[in-house]
Each structure stands twice: as C-alpha cells, then as structure tokens.
Amino acid sequence: EFAGLVERQWRFACRVAWAVLRQTQDAEDAAQEAFLKIWRAQAWRDLRDERAYVARAVWRAAIDRVRALPTKHMPLRGPAAEDLSPEEIADQAQSPEEIVVAGNWEAAVHRLIDSLPEDLRQPLALSAEMNSREVAAAMGLAEGTVRTRLMRARQMLRDKMAALEERRYAGR
C-alpha cells in the first residue's frame, strides 16, 4: 500500500518541494524525507486526503531544508529578488529581443517569477499543481490569505511583464 502511495504521489511531492527549494536534487531529497517520516509514523494507513497530507508533509520537509541551507546555496543570488525592478531584472539578462529571438521567453518569465517575494512566489508555484484550498492546507495558511497572495503575485507579474514588453518595443 505504501509503495502505491509513493508511486501515485512522487512526482507531485517533488513539484511541491521544488516550489520551495528550486533545485531538483534538494526537492527530491525533501520528498524522500517526507515519505520516510510518513512511513515511520504509519500515517499512510489512515489517510483521508492523501494528496493534501503528502503536500503538507513535503512542504514542511522542504521548509526545514531551506532553514538548514546556508544562504549561499539558495537559488537567488545578488540583492534580494523582491527589491529588483523589472528593468534591473531585464538588465541582468539578455535584452527582450534576444530572449524572444533565442526562444527563451519562458526563461524570462521564470526569472520574473523567481524575483517575486517568497511569500508570493511559493503559493503561485504551488497553484500550478493545487487549488487554493490545497495550497492553504499545505502552507498552513487561511485559504483567503492564499487567494490574496495569488492575486498580488499575478498582478506583480503582469506589471513586470508589461515593463519588459515596453523595453522590447522601445528598442532597448
């Protein structure tokens, strides 16, 4: 039964951990730690909502891993990403034209997402896999808080993307 749980939820667990850690190996390690804790606690035998339980367990393991990592190992480098303006983010990368021509628009979007404050980026990343109720359960937040953070994150992304588009059409 436990092997079935792991098989059904492994990819989901890795994506939840990746939303926090943004590094594949660390995400896989956090997922393994979470499943090991679930196994040891025998909690997998009486799960009502296995997806929510796994999400919460993996979220906690990933957060514990973030706290244990030295700052230099965190994916974001340089000034705090939330302090960067869209222009500064764009200046660190290729010009918008080069991004589009090279087919790296998706990379620019991911860079913009990474530049969001953590309290907005994490729910946004999780929302790709879960609904707001599930994100709230995983993060230990009220569902209304999650929805507000998602709204703010999406608005910030729209603003940053608009700034990139303006630069693109301004010929910079």
Write the DSSP assignment of 52-91 as a string of letters: HHHHHHHHHHHHHHHHHS-GGGSS--SS-GGG--HHHHHH
Number of other CB atoms surrounding residue 116 within 10 Å: 22
41-54: pLDDT as tens digits: 887 787 788 888 89
The pLDDT assigned to 96 comes to: 52
Q: What is the pLDDT of residues 105-117, one digit of tens each?
A: 666 777 888 889 9
Cα angle for residues 100, 116, 51 (degrees, 5° grid): 100
Per-residue confidence (pLDDT) for residue 58, from 0 to 100: 92
Q: Classify 171 in phi/psi space as left (phi over 0), alpha (psi -120 to 50) or beta.
A: left
